Structure 1
């Protein structure tokens, strides 16, 4: 159950990343991209840590999936999709 929900958390982060990424890039400013990057990190790690501290097993899997989703998307996209790539701020 936890592994399945971790996969759901990963997919949820990818969808959230897509929506926030499009909104951040459409602002065409470094401040908008920076705000999007901070927002994505807060969703992934703030929400992920909050969910993993809950006693329900579904919450733990979902929280781990959110955090793993941020990490994997950052690695696969070389930081472009999560706002970690410094070339985005120029």
Structure 2
């Protein structure tokens, strides 16, 4: 179930993250793009760790494994993409998409 949770997070994050990056890149206002990316980072982490924590608390093996998988999936995506796909990379907020400091 941990593998299923990690895979689920990776697939959902890829679809949602792609949509968010398209919207942020097409925005003319850098403040809106930065807020959208920050909101994405918070929602991504909250869904993985909040949802994972709630599933782990159920004390049954299948939900517990899936919850751990969500957390593992977030960690793998963050490490393997240097934080780009979970929106925690500081480069997203400074120079990417033409956003100047």
Normalising by structure 2, we get a TM-score of 0.81
Unaligned runs of 5+ in 2: 25-32, 95-101
Which blocks of at least 5 consecutive residues in structure 1 are unaligned? none
Q: Structure 2: how far apart are the matches of 1:37 and 1:16?
A: 14
Q: How many residues align?
A: 86
Separation in structure 2 between the aligned mates of residue 25 and residue 37 of structure 1, nearest angstrom: 12
Q: Secondary structure at the match of 1:54?
A: coil
Q: Which residue of 1 aligns with 2:50?
A: 46
Rg (Cα) greater in structure: 2
Q: Which runs of 4+ in 1 moved over 4 A?
A: none
Work out the CA distance in 2 between the residues paired with 1:57 and 1:41. 23
Aligned counterpart for 1:79 among listed residues 83, 92, 98:
83
User: Deviation of residue 27 (structure 1)?
Assistant: 2.2
SS in 1 for 2:3: helix
2:9 aligned with 1:13, yes or no?
yes
Distance in 1, matches of 2:11 and 2:5, equals 10
After TM superposition, the score normalised by the length of structure 1 is 0.90
